[in-house]
Structure 1
Amino acid sequence: MDLTTVRWFLAVAEHGHVTRAAAELRVSQPGLSRAVARLERELGYPLLDREGRGVVLSHYGEIFAERARRLVAEEEAARRALARAADPERGEVSLAFLHTQGPSFVPDLIRRFRADHPDVTFRLSQDRAERVEAAVREGRADLAITSPRPDESSTGAEAGSTSLAWRPLVTERLSAAVPVGHRLAGRSRLRLDELAGEPFVAFRRGAGLRTIGDALLDGAGIRPEIAFEGEESGTVRGLVAAGLGVAIVAPPGDPAEARGVRHVPLTDPGAQRVIGLIWVPARTAPPVVEGFRRFVLARADRLPGPAN
């Protein structure tokens, strides 16, 4: 059963006459009659009854016509949805990003994009790096802004259709967050080894800053005592301000997060994080998603954020 034949049947039902329906559809009357007869044979029930020179729906025809109209309406709705999805000025972009990009980085990108594309909507999700990456791989997000760069072994061609493309956007210098009254709070910069022996407030494992921080501490020969593991930067900074320990953090996106905390830039090589955009290049992206991806990449050098 094809939708063309279903539409032809509905036209005959509406007109109550095969010849008039054929004229509207611009098909031959014998061809239309044969198509309706084939449909009746396929379904196994008579759909039309003769009445004078015209036809009327049989009991079975009335039941089928009701559902056939829904079927045609759904098909037309699907076509409209596809047309909207192909419109670069409309549609939805699913974007995942780290908690630390929530206060200003991502909102600024969206604000700038929507200034020229006001009908585009966004479905947003925040999480730690490993979950943000998984959202893109599994198709739950079109794009993601994350750090650090996903493992090289998973971004090559050998990884298959879910291999990720990566483009750096912004490089941030990392800092040591210390309480206002801390012995190092007055410093303009410091080395990680000067934090040896301090308790640390860390991000949970799987967070991008935890991965970077662990590598930096290991390189400095520091085996930190972890006083607390937090999910979000605001929580980590808040506990630093409360005196529970020190932390390795990125620049605060919200000035309110710096209350009670001093951010002292780290001078160690590699004490930085690169924020980048990831996507699955083998996956077909709607024009609206491709438009936002190009917008972000074209502005990579002008995006806000401290450079290395």
Structure 2
Amino acid sequence: MTETRLRTFVALADTGSVREAARRLYVTESAVSAAVAALTRDLGVPLVRREGRGLRLTAAGAAYAGYARRVLGLLEEGRAAARGAADPGRGTLRLAAVTTAADQLLPELLASFRSRWPDVELTLEVGPRRQVWSSLAAHGADLVLAGRPPAGIAATVLARRPNELVVVGAPALADGFALDDTPWVMREPGSGTRATADAYLAEREASPPRLVLGSNGAVIAGAAAGLGVALVSRDAVGAELETGRLVVIDAPGMPLDRPWHAVAGAAPSATTLLFVRHLLDAPGWSAPHAQGPDAEGPDAEGPDAEGPRSEGPDDGSARGGRG
């Protein structure tokens, strides 16, 4: 059982196709088939079965794929730890961020970090809440930028930043705002912002018309165009508020506090801590102990804990989903 076989099997599990797995790994299709066959012999149980023109994992294969991903993640984590311990400024850092955090927080942070530490090997994964927390749990990410981490994963909150959610709309729409009647523009299902907005409306037994748009930028543009009001991070609409294209609406129960979190696993690498120190020098970020009792760890209860009020906009803070 080799690392190559594990990587090949995971690629096959992800793509459901020998051809796509070979393309991802830059190997031949016969090499993929041979590696999976060898792994099957090692384990003594079938891992895949034919389904139409593709392949589907068997129950054994689905169970094994999760372990294979964690093993590969641990290997990468070990390499990162070793390289970082030898020289943090030449180590590796695997960042994962929910979409809103990637849009709002990371561009300037990454540019300034790159300028200061150009030899750090940096990768970034952007995805919905469930994806980034799964990456951390499977040792596929060294640091996650999102809302509060869900219970049940080994997580260490290393920094926090305030994040205020507000309802915004075009001035003409804001004048006649009614919770039950004014349309809302929203992210797609699975987004944390969407889940927070849905939960907010459900708590108030409000059922306004909803228009689903595909990104934070589209939601903000749609709100500015008068398509509806939107629940967004105040940071994301600073320019629109300044120019008057959008105004903050005095909706009941607003604003919502959904702070951003920088979260690592149980043993952050030296290079991860190098980035966190850089983060803490940036405006708004502070160490968890400076935030009070609600900044403890993933198991603490509170308004931004996992569940009904878990994370922030696309940060992973909403009830339910994330994105």
TM-score normalised by the chain length of structure 1 = 0.56
**Alpha-carbon deviation of 1:122?**
1.8
The separation in 2 between residues aligned to 1:194 and 1:224, in whole angstroms, is 9
**Alpha-carbon deviation of 1:112?**
3.6
The separation in 1 between residues aligned to 2:122 and 2:180, in whole angstroms, is 44
**Alpha-carbon deviation of 1:93?**
1.1
Q: Which residue of 2 aligns with 1:90?
A: 90
Q: Classify the secondary structure of the residue corresponding to 1:237.
A: helix
Q: Which residue of 1 aligns with 2:199?
A: 215
- 2:184 is the counterpart of 1:200: yes
More displaced 10-residue stretch of structure 1: 259-268 or 199-208? 259-268
2:155 maps to a residue whose letter is L
The separation in 2 between residues aligned to 1:205 and 1:222, in whole angstroms, is 18
Higher strand share: 1
> Is the 2:84–2:92 contact (alpha carbons within 8 Å) kept by the matching residues of 1?
no
**Alpha-carbon deviation of 1:250?**
0.7
Q: Any idea what the Cα deviations from partners look like across 1:84-122, whole Å, max 9, x if unmatched?
A: 773201122111112223345212222343444232232
Q: Any idea what the Cα deviations from partners look like across 1:4-37, whole Å, max 9, x if unmatched?
A: xxxxxxxxxxxxxxxxxxxxxxxxxxxxxxxxxx
Residues 142/111 of structure 1: CA separation in 2 closer, same or farther (3 Å cut):
same
Q: Any idea what the Cα deviations from partners look like across 1:31-66, whole Å, max 9, x if unmatched?
A: xxxxxxxxxxxxxxxxxxxxxxxxxxxxxxxxxxxx
> Is the 2:224–2:245 contact (alpha carbons within 8 Å) kept by the matching residues of 1?
yes
Q: Classify the secondary structure of the residue corresponding to 1:89.
A: helix
The separation in 2 between residues aligned to 1:101 and 1:83, in whole angstroms, is 27
Q: Classify the secondary structure of the residue corresponding to 2:163.
A: strand
**Alpha-carbon deviation of 1:270?**
6.0
**Alpha-carbon deviation of 1:260?**
8.3
Q: Which residue of 2 aligns with 1:245?
A: 228
Q: Which residue of 1 aligns with 2:35?
A: none
2:185 maps to a residue whose letter is V
2:220 maps to a residue whose letter is R
Q: Which residue of 1 aligns with 2:155?
A: 164
TM-score normalised by the chain length of structure 2 = 0.53
**Alpha-carbon deviation of 1:261?**
4.1
Q: Which of the residues 258, 261, 264 maps onto 1:276? A: 261
> Is the 2:93–2:142 contact (alpha carbons within 8 Å) kept by the matching residues of 1?
yes
**Could you tell me the percent identity over the aligned residues?**
27
Q: Classify the secondary structure of the residue corresponding to 1:182.
A: helix
How many residues get paired?
Answer: 206
**Alpha-carbon deviation of 1:209?**
1.5
- Bigger radius of gyration, 1 or 2? 1
Give the root-mean-square deviation of aligned CA atoms.
3.4
List gaps (5 residues or longer) in structure 1: 1-78, 155-161, 186-192
The separation in 2 between residues aligned to 1:201 and 1:289, in whole angstroms, is 37
Q: Any idea what the Cα deviations from partners look like across 1:128-171, whole Å, max 9, x if unmatched?
A: 22222222222222111112x1333x2xxxxxxx4223355222
The separation in 2 between residues aligned to 1:100 and 1:265, in whole angstroms, is 21
The separation in 1 between residues aligned to 2:227 and 2:254, in whole angstroms, is 27
> Is the 1:174–1:248 contact (alpha carbons within 8 Å) kept by the matching residues of 2?
yes
1:239 maps to a residue whose letter is G
> Is the 2:170–2:245 contact (alpha carbons within 8 Å) kept by the matching residues of 1?
yes
Q: Which residue of 1 aligns with 2:141?
A: 141
List gaps (5 residues or longer) in structure 2: 1-78, 287-323
Q: Classify the secondary structure of the residue corresponding to 1:234.
A: helix
> Is the 1:172–1:250 contact (alpha carbons within 8 Å) kept by the matching residues of 2?
yes
- 2:210 is the counterpart of 1:226: yes
Residues 257/264 of structure 1: CA separation in 2 closer, same or farther (3 Å cut):
closer
Q: Which of the residues 257, 261, 269 maps onto 1:286? A: 269
> Is the 1:174–1:265 contact (alpha carbons within 8 Å) kept by the matching residues of 2?
no
The separation in 2 between residues aligned to 1:168 and 1:206, in whole angstroms, is 25
The separation in 1 between residues aligned to 2:104 and 2:255, in whole angstroms, is 24
More displaced 10-residue stretch of structure 1: 255-264 or 171-180? 255-264
